[in-house]
Amino acid sequence: MKVINFSDQNSIINQYLAEMRDKDYQQNRLLFRNNIQRVGEMMAYEISKTLDYQQKTVHTPLADAEVSVPVDDVVVATIFRAGLPFHTGFLNVFDHAGNAFVSAYRKYTDEEHTQVGIHIEYLATPDLTGKTLIIADPMLATGGSMELGWEALVSKGRPKHVHVACVIATPDGVDYIKSHLPEENTTIWCAAIDPGLNEHKYIVPGFGDAGDLCYGDKL
């Protein structure tokens, strides 16, 4: 399973990550959402290079032009609610893509808030049989919510290839996906891979709770 970590080389994505991590920048939810969206757009562009293409004749006002266009049937899936601006970034690039949505949430199962359960409540997806599936979720912490989202999605058809896309991951999260998703047709894309998790299962240094930073606190 191939893992692409954008922080292995310098790019403008580093600037967006720096702003998302900055606690002062985080006071402006619009800026935070926009940066997640921009990372999604750039990641989508890189993923587009891996698709299958074929030649198409386009009739311009002056002459015909031969253009190589993607032929993969792409579906962009996201996990509510933090994934919404990330999803929008992918849709800005893959504007012909289908869409899938999974509602999942973390719930602590002990009083010390050290054990986390993941719950799936809602699924809306087209048939995924033979499709190129992009699962866009900003945080890949333990990998548990990604795996449950994957299992829910593939109940509606097995895709040809799966791209797991996240803004920040942990080594444990990456390893978990490697051991639970198909080795031969899954690619993991990360803007950065941080060292690990704290006792409350948040990525450290990370940037905090992506959903709260995008949309405000929840009960």
* pLDDT, mean of residues 123-143: 95
H, E, C per residue of 25-44: HHHCHHHHHHHHHHHHHHHH
pLDDT computed for residue 20 by the predictor: 93
How does residue 219 score in pLDDT terms, banded at 50, 70 and 90? Answer: low
pLDDT computed for residue 92 by the predictor: 97
pLDDT computed for residue 50 by the predictor: 97
d(CA 166, CA 141): 10
Q: What are 183-209's pLDDT values in tens digits? A: 999 999 999 999 999 988 889 999 988
H, E, C per residue of the chain: CEEEEHHHCCCCHHHHHHHHHCCCHHHCHHHHHHHHHHHHHHHHHHHHCCCCEEEEEEECCCCEEEEEEECCCEEEEEEECCHHHHHHHHHHHCCCCEEEEEEEEEEECCCCCCCEEEEEEEEECCCCCCCEEEEECCEECCCHHHHHHHHHHHCCCCCCEEEEEEEEECHHHHHHHHHHCCCCCEEEEEEEECCEECCCCCEECCCCCHHHHHHCCCC
C-alpha distance from residue 35 to each of 88, 151, 197, 213 (Å): 11, 29, 23, 12
Could you give the domains of the chain? 2-49+81-215 (3.40.50.2020)
Q: Is the pLDDT of residue 108 over 90?
A: no
pLDDT computed for residue 105 by the predictor: 60
Say how many C-beta atoms besides its own lie within 10 A of residue 159's C-beta.
26
d(CA 95, CA 172): 33
Could you tell me the pTM of the whole model? Answer: 0.89
Q: What are 141-190's pLDDT values in tens digits? A: 999 888 888 988 999 999 999 999 999 999 999 999 999 999 999 999 99
pLDDT computed for residue 137 by the predictor: 93
Mean pLDDT over the full length of the chain: 90
